[in-house]
Amino acid sequence: MTYRLTLVTAAATLVLILVGGLVTNTGAALAVPDWPNTFGHNMFLFPWSRMVGGVLYEHSHRLVAVAVGLLTLGLAAALWRRGGRLRALGLVAALAVVAQGVLGGLRVVLVQDTLAIVHGSLAQAFFGLLVALALLTSRAPAPGRAVEPALRALTGLAAALVYAQIVFGALLTHAGRLDLHLAGALLVFVLVPIVAARTRRGGDPVAAPAARALLVLLGVQLLLGVGSYLARFSSIWIPGEQLTMLLLPVAHRVVGSLLLGAAVVLALRTLAAPLPAPAPVAREAAFAGRLTAGPRLEGS
C-alpha cells in the first residue's frame, strides 16, 4: 500500500511539474497577485468561471500543489510506521513539500526570480526523492551481481549531473544563462550514455531496464532541447508556431524529470549492490572449496 501511495504521489508531482512549466512558459506566474488567497477568495472557493487565461494555469498549479502536499503528508505518515531510513526520508519529503509551498507563495508576494529558480529546482529534487522512495518501498529483488566502486561513483555522478543540468535549465529560463545549460548538456551526453551502457551489461532486473529507459529519454531530450533552442533563439519557422513554442520547453522540462528519476534508480541500485571480493579473499575461498570437495575417486 505504501508503494502504491508513493507512485501516486510521484505521478501527481510530475503533473505538478508539467503545470508549473505551463505557468512559466505562458508568463502566468504572476497572473494571481495574492497568496494564499486568489483575488481575495479562499483558494478552494475561487469561482471556476473566472479561471481563464493565465489565471487558469496559475490557480490550477496551486490546486495541484495542494493535492501533492496532502499526498506527501499521507505518505510521510505511512512511512513513519515503517521506521528506520524510510521514516527519515518521509519526514524529509514532508518538510520539502511544506518548504516548496512557502517558496511558491513568496515568489508571488515578493516577485523575485531567484525564488522561482529555487522553487523549480526544489520541485525536481523532490521528484527525485519520491522516485527513490518508490524504489525503496517496492518489492524489487536485491541486486545479485557485484558492482565495481568506480561504477558506483559514476552512477552517483550521473544523477548529480542530471540534476545540475536541470538547475542550469532554471537559470536559463529565469536568468538567460544559456552558456551553463549548453555546457551541462555536453557533460550529460558524454557521461550518461557510458554509465547506462555499463549498467545494462550488469543484467540487474531493475537497473538494466532503467538504463535502457535512460538512453531512450536522453535521445528524446536531445530532440526537445534542439527544438526548444530553435524556438527561442532562432527565427526559423516551426510548425504549430505559438503552441509548439509553448509545448517544447514544457515537454523538455518533464522529460528532464524522468531522466533524473531513471538516474536516481541507477545510483541507488549500484549503491545497494555488493562490492567484488578482494582478489586474495577470492583465491582463498576457491582453495577452501577444493579442500572441502576432497579428492575425486576414479569411477565415482
Residue 82, domain member (yes or no): yes
Q: 64 with 126, same domain? A: yes
CA-CA distance, 24 to 47, in Å (whole number)?
23
pLDDT at 237 over 80: no
Q: How confident is the prediction for the chain on average, in pLDDT?
A: 88
Residue 42, domain member (yes or no): yes
Final residue of a domain: which of 139, 168, 199? 139
Q: Structural domain tally of the chain?
A: 2
Q: Which of residues 1 and 262 earns the better pLDDT score? A: 262
pLDDT score recorded for residue 204: 85
Residue 35, domain member (yes or no): yes
Q: 51 with 155, same domain? A: no
Q: 48 with 76, same domain? A: yes
Residue 295, domain member (yes or no): no
Final residue of a domain: which of 124, 139, 154? 139
- Asked if residue 27 lies in contact with residue 36, where contact means CB atoms within 8 angstroms, the answer is no
Sorting pLDDT into bands at 50, 70 and 90, what band is 298?
very low
Q: Could you read off the pLDDT of 5-37 as tens digits, one per residue? A: 999 999 999 999 999 999 988 888 888 888 888
Sorting pLDDT into bands at 50, 70 and 90, what band is 224?
very high
Q: 15 with 123, same domain? A: yes
Write the CA distances from 159 to 33, 77, 271, integer angstroms. 36, 28, 12
Q: 25 with 81, same domain? A: yes
pLDDT score recorded for residue 262: 96
What percent of the chain shows pLDDT beyond 70? 93
pLDDT score recorded for residue 294: 52
Residue 134, domain member (yes or no): yes
Residue 24, domain member (yes or no): yes
Phi-psi region of 156 (alpha: psi -120 to 50; beta: other; left: phi over 0): alpha
Q: 152 with 263, same domain? A: yes
Instruction: Select from 159, 172, 151, 186 the least CA-distant residue to 273.
Output: 151
Which positions ≥6 away from 163 have C-beta within 8 Å? 124, 125, 128, 260
Q: 102 with 185, same domain? A: no
The packing angle between helices 54-82 and 113-137, to 10°, is 40
Q: Which of residues 290 and 190 earns the better pLDDT score? A: 190
Q: Which amino acid belongs to residue 70?
A: L
pLDDT score recorded for residue 246: 87
Q: 23 with 96, same domain? A: yes
CA-CA distance, 211 to 259, in Å (whole number)?
10
Q: 128 with 100, same domain? A: yes
The x, y and z cell numbers of residue 135, run together, are 524504489
Predicted TM-score of the model (pTM):
0.89
pLDDT score recorded for residue 296: 47
Q: Could you read off the pLDDT of 191-215 as tens digits, one per residue? A: 999 999 999 887 889 999 999 999 9
What percent of the chain shows pLDDT beyond 90? 57
Q: 113 with 87, same domain? A: yes
User: What range does the domain containing 265 cover?
Assistant: 146-276
Final residue of a domain: which of 112, 139, 166? 139
Residue 294, domain member (yes or no): no
Least confident of 49-58, 137-146, 181-190: 137-146
Q: 119 with 203, same domain? A: no
Q: 131 with 1, same domain? A: yes
44-48, 55-59, 91-95, 150-154: range with highest mean pLDDT: 91-95
Instruction: Select from 69, 58, 66 the least CA-distant residue to 21.
Output: 58
